[in-house]
Structure formats: structure tokens, C-alpha cells
Amino acid sequence: MKYIDEYRDAKLAKDIARQIAAAVDPARSYHFMEFCGGHTHAISRYGLEDLLPSNVQMIHGPGCPVCVLPIGRIDAAIALAMCPEITLCTYGDLMRVPSSNGSSLLKARATGADIRMVYSTLDSLNISEAEPNRQVVFFAIGFETTTPPTALSLRFAIAKDLANFSIFSNHVLTPAAIQTILENSDARTLGTIKIDGLLGPAHVSTVIGTQPFEVLAEEYNKPIVVAGFEPLDVIYSILMLVRQVNEGVHKVENQYIRAVTTLGNEKARREIANVFELRESFEWRGLGAIPQSGLGLRPGYAKYDAEKRFDVVTPAAKDNPACECGAILRGVKKPSDCKLFGKVCTPDSPMGSCMVSSEGACAAYWLYGRFGRQGKADESSRTIA
């Protein structure tokens, strides 16, 4: 099967690891942030950190859209769903994210709220068409990867004249988050983080391309390598970062050439631009309010905007003070540093979004049993030893 055997070859991975060991300067340390949660899971699943020299450290970033959604938006979504006339549709990961009062969309559904898990935006449209007496709200989240389908759903809703369909938009932009992290490496309330380079997001880059990262690499003097998700993708991208650091250069390189181009998917970008506009500011869990980092519907689509249709108010809600999700998303702590991890916070009873999402760092640590948990990783889940 193409790309499975080819990109999970243990012999090649160990050969690349030897190249990294030969390339690193033993007198210095290397700190690389993998922005995307998919990379975090690949690193944990395949034990890639075990192949790296001790002076090459990987830092987990905020590349999980469910994780970075602030708790106030969860509260707002639950309030929407509790309205008798509303059917709230959303992706599965969001169902179990804790709200400020310990509730969740799943718990709200158990009390009678009409909340439905969908696999695509088209599912929400189908519900809207099949049940014209219900107000169907699609709880839209995600980075640039999932934004085009939301934009297309609006086009289809207009074409079908679905007056009972609306969107609660929580789409956010990755370059703005990367800029915030590079610009504010010293987070006073959370800690200090050192970053020598970044593994750029892969799925996002299939849409926006590598070009948006060029100004970040140049302005902050940080090499960025857009990496694929297979173990050989990740470990070779780390080698590319080491080489850039050693050479004293800072540019954007594209390791994921089989899927990513310089300009990305121009048609998808046009769809986004036609439907969405930049918000003045949007809050991210762990990163705070980031200027021009969120997307809202353009005024021309106001009647499909759930925030305007239902006067949605986002409350000023705080995370569980014992949960370290915010610090983990900034990269200043690892899941095993959290005193709740593996004790009161597990996939069965998550205390924070990082344990809920399939892209969350805490979920990766728990799933592959590598840190802060008794027992060894399930070797049957690995191809690389």
C-alpha cells in the first residue's frame, strides 16, 4: 500500500536518526515545536523522540482546533443548544469538551437538548432540509483545513433556500497563532519557552500553501519545515531543521511535497475569502486574544450567522485552574507535568480539551502510554521499533 510501507520503514528511520546524531552540535541544544497535533501523535505513536539525540527536544504546540477553542465558546454553544427550537450539529470531538460548569455538549444532550454529531457539513444541511421546522445550527470549528467545507455548506444552503440553517463560526488561522508564540515566548503566567525552529502544519498547508509562513521565518529568524504525518516525514523534517540551525539560516522548506505547494489550494482559498472575513480579535485557549486570528461570516451572509440570528453572547469563562491545558498548548509544559493527567483526568473523565481531542497532546500521551502512565506502549500499534 503506497505511503504506508514506504513512509514507515524502521531501517530508514534509524538511518535518518543517525544522520541527525551526526549533524547536531553536542555543545548546543535544539528546541523544535511541532505545531500540529497530528505531528504530536505521530511522534508519540512511533517513539520518534527515542531516536533523537538528548539535545534535540520536541515541544508540543497549539495545533489542535478543539483544544484551542476557549471554554466560553463551549458555554455559548450549550446555551444555543438549550433553546427548544434549535438543533445544534457538530463534530464528535467537541461533544465531550468540558464547559466552565463541568457540563459538556454530551451532558447537555442527556438533559434533552437536541445536539447531533455529524461527520461533515453536508450532514447538517441534510438535517436542515429534512426538518424545516427546526433551526439547525452548525457549530463550525477548525483551522484553514475545515474552513472551505463550511464555506461550501453556506453556498449549498443558499442554493436550496434553507432559511432554517445557520453557522456558529469558530474557525481560526494558524499563521496568527504561530506569530503569537514566536512573539511572546515568555508567557509570564505560564513560563518561558525556547524555540529554534518549527514543524509547520501539513493539512493546513495543503490549503494555504507554504507562502504565508515565509514572513514568519524571516521576521523571527526561525526555520520552518512543513512536514507530512508519517514517521519518516517527521524525522526527516527534524533533520532539515537541524541543518538550517547549523547553517544559521531561517527559511521555509517543504518536506511534504507530495501534498503541499507554495500557493496551496487556490480554489479553496477563494471559497474562504468569499464567505468569511477576519474578526478584529479572537480568543484562543492558552494563547489569549489574538488579533485577526478568527473568521466570521461576511455581512452579506448575516441571516446565516447564528451569532447574529440568536444574539449569541460569549461569557467570560475560566478554565479549571488545576488543568494545565493552556500551558501545554503554549508548549511550556508537557501533559505529564499536569498533576491531573492520568489520575482524575483520563479519556473517560476528561478535565480539559487536550485529553478529549484526537489531536490533543494529553490524548497522545495517554493513548500510546509513553509518559506519566504505568505500563508500556502497545507495540502492536507501531511499525517502527
Sequential DSSP letters for 113-136: -EEEE-SSHHHHHHHHHH-TTSEE
Q: What pTM, to 2 d.p., does this model score?
A: 0.91
The residue written with cell numbers 455538549 in the block is: 105
The domain locations on the chain are 1-370
The amino acid that residue 335 corresponds to is P
CATH value of 1-370 in 3.40.190.10, 3.40.50.11740, 3.40.50.2300, 1.25.40.10: 3.40.50.11740
| H or E element that contains 192 | strand 191-192
pLDDT for the residue 31: 97
Cβ neighbours for 84, distance < 8 A, ≥ 6 positions apart: none
Q: Which three cell numbers stand for residue 383?
A: 511499525
* d(C-alpha 16, C-alpha 155), whole Å: 46
Q: pLDDT tens digits, the chain, 385 residues: what are they? A: 577 788 999 999 999 999 999 999 999 999 999 999 999 999 999 999 999 999 999 999 999 999 999 999 999 999 999 999 999 999 998 999 999 988 999 999 999 999 999 999 999 999 999 999 999 999 999 999 999 999 999 999 999 999 999 999 999 999 999 999 998 755 555 667 899 999 999 999 999 999 999 999 999 999 999 999 999 999 999 999 999 999 999 999 999 999 999 999 999 999 999 999 999 999 999 899 999 999 999 999 999 999 999 999 898 888 888 999 999 999 999 999 999 999 999 998 999 999 998 899 999 999 997 654 443 333 333 334 3
Look at strands 56-63 and 30-36 and give their pairing.
Answer: parallel
* d(C-alpha 141, C-alpha 254), whole Å: 26
C-alpha separations of 223 from 9, 196, 232, 246 in Å: 26, 7, 19, 11
Among 144, 128, 181, smallest CA distance to 306 is for 128
Q: Which three cell numbers stand for residue 267?
A: 480554489
pLDDT for the residue 6: 87
Angle at 39 between CA 167 and CA 168, to 5 degrees: 5
Look at strands 197-200 and 224-226 and give their pairing.
Answer: parallel
pLDDT for the residue 377: 38
Helix H, strand E, coil C: the string for 138-181 is: EEEEECCCCHHHHHHHHHHHHHCCCCCEEEEEEEECHHHHHHHH
Q: Which three cell numbers stand for residue 285?
A: 485557549
> φ, ψ for residue 176 (rounded to 5)?
-65, -40
Number of helices and strands (H, E) in the chain? 17, 15
* d(C-alpha 224, C-alpha 52), whole Å: 19
Strand, coil or helix: 314: coil
